[in-house]
Amino acid sequence: MEKLPGRPLGNEWFELSDRERLKVLLQLVRLEARPHAIELPASGSIYYAGDLPSDSPRIALPDSDLCIGPSAALEWWFAERVLLRVNRGPCTCEDPIDVLRNPALKELAWLRAYGRPRFPFERAYREFMDYHFLRPVLRHPDLQPNNIFISNNLDIVGLIDWQHASALPLFLAAGIRNFFQNYDDPASLELRPPPAPDLDDMDVEEKANTLHNFQRRHIHFFYLAFTQRFNEPRFRVMDRATNMLMRRVFSHAGEPWEGNNIPLQADLTLLTKSWHNYSTNPCPIPFPPAKADSIMHVQGIQEEVDLQLKQNLKLLCARARQIKVDGLASLDTDYEREMTDRHWPFDDHDEDE
């Protein structure tokens, strides 16, 4: 961060105009397309070959001193996971089972018997993937405004926090960024540009909430629209419902470590019901109908709780923004407003400042 020019985007992201946000989003999508186009021989993390222990597995990158080695993604190492004796890669395209391999999995015998490189079940998708199996793609692990540095004219000058980056199979790397997605909003799922809101006759809090909702819809739509235009292979994979479920299974697999196995059980229940979309072999995970209904019922309750928490957080954030606006407006001089805005006690900040 000290060596990069510019400043983090996070502090001003929602203060930008619609046109300014689109300028940044367009650059961001184009930047994402560049590593997406790199041909990689395996999934894992990228190292200088000399930095890995001599006994560490690796796959060399041609014509370079780099290689792909074990995954450095945080989900493989967080908390007690660091003590597990599991294969963390690299995982070749010819052996996609490695992505899932873990001695504790009771499904391992099934995977060894039936797992093999597969083309997408939907034949129409194979051409735009260049007829590759699970092509590895390099993607930033946490792309959000605080990790994006911009210049005074809003040109992106750098991205930080690459330390947990990994090359992943395309279907895992193709999801819309968490910060830019707005899937909980039905209007955002229509994939149409949102109309500008009419703020007349609204009080201050209503205006803040309405404007925040519009901004979220605006960001969601144009992130997808720019991705469709400038990174079409990723957009097509991202747009497949089956891939979304597979990404959810992968991301929720670690949640039982945090005391919550409901999302994973719900994902696996949905997976068994749509197994015919993934394979012609028998599904290895049976759920009796009564058990499946019970899991989905509990999942529905949890989603309601999550929605309530999200709505409460949204209200708190809107109220916090308004408190800052009112506080700055109450000050007498430009200097007081500048210093208070720069050192607002409830903003994120460097602990050393």
> pLDDT tens-digit profile of 235-252?
777 766 666 777 777 777
Res. 80: pLDDT tops 70: no
Instruction: State the pLDDT confidence band at 336, using cuts at 50, 70 and 90.
Output: confident
Q: Which residue has the tokens 């009796």?
A: 288
Backbone angles phi, psi at 59, to 5 degrees: -130, 120
Give the per-residue pLDDT at 115.
53
Backbone angles phi, psi at 157, to 5 degrees: -110, -10
Phi-psi region of 147 (alpha: psi -120 to 50; beta: other; left: phi over 0): alpha
Give the per-residue pLDDT at 111.
45
- Distance, in Å, from the CA atom of 343 to the CA atom of 338, rounded to the nearest integer, reads 9
Phi-psi region of 232 (alpha: psi -120 to 50; beta: other; left: phi over 0): alpha
Give the per-residue pLDDT at 114.
52
Res. 102: pLDDT tops 60: no
Q: What is the chain's mean pLDDT, rounded?
A: 77
Average pLDDT over residues 188-213: 81
Q: How far is CA 74 from the centre of its chain?
A: 13
Q: Is the pTM of this model over 0.85?
A: no
When comparing pLDDT for 230 and 307, which is higher? 230
Average pLDDT over residues 264-270: 87
For the chain, the 3-state helix, strand and coil shares in percent, each to the nearest 5, are 50, 10, 40
Query: pLDDT tens digits, residue range 271-286?
Result: 888 888 777 788 888 8
Share of the chain above pLDDT 70, in %: 81
Average pLDDT over residues 223-246: 78
Res. 109: pLDDT tops 70: no
Query: pLDDT tens digits, residue range 9-53?
Result: 887 887 888 888 889 889 999 988 888 888 888 888 889 989 998
Residue ranges with strand state E in the chain: 7-8, 42-43, 45-48, 59-60, 66-69, 91-92, 136-139, 148-150, 156-159, 166-169
Res. 170: pLDDT tops 60: yes
Res. 294: pLDDT tops 80: yes
Give the per-residue pLDDT at 27.
92
Res. 293: pLDDT tops 80: yes
Residue 284 Cα distances to 187, 197, 247, angstroms:
37, 49, 18
Res. 58: pLDDT tops 50: yes
When comparing pLDDT for 115 and 151, which is higher? 151
Residue 48, CB half-sphere, CA atoms under 13 Å: how many? 2
Average pLDDT over residues 209-228: 86
Give the per-residue pLDDT at 48.
92
Average pLDDT over residues 318-335: 84
Query: pLDDT tens digits, residue range 114-144?
Result: 555 556 555 544 554 455 565 778 888 888 8
Give the per-residue pLDDT at 63.
87
Res. 96: pLDDT tops 50: no
Residue 334, CB half-sphere, CA atoms under 13 Å: how many? 0
Share of the chain above pLDDT 90, in %: 3
- Residue spans of the domains in the chain: they are 40-114, 126-297, 298-352
Instruction: State the pLDDT confidence band at 100, using cuts at 50, 70 and 90.
Output: very low
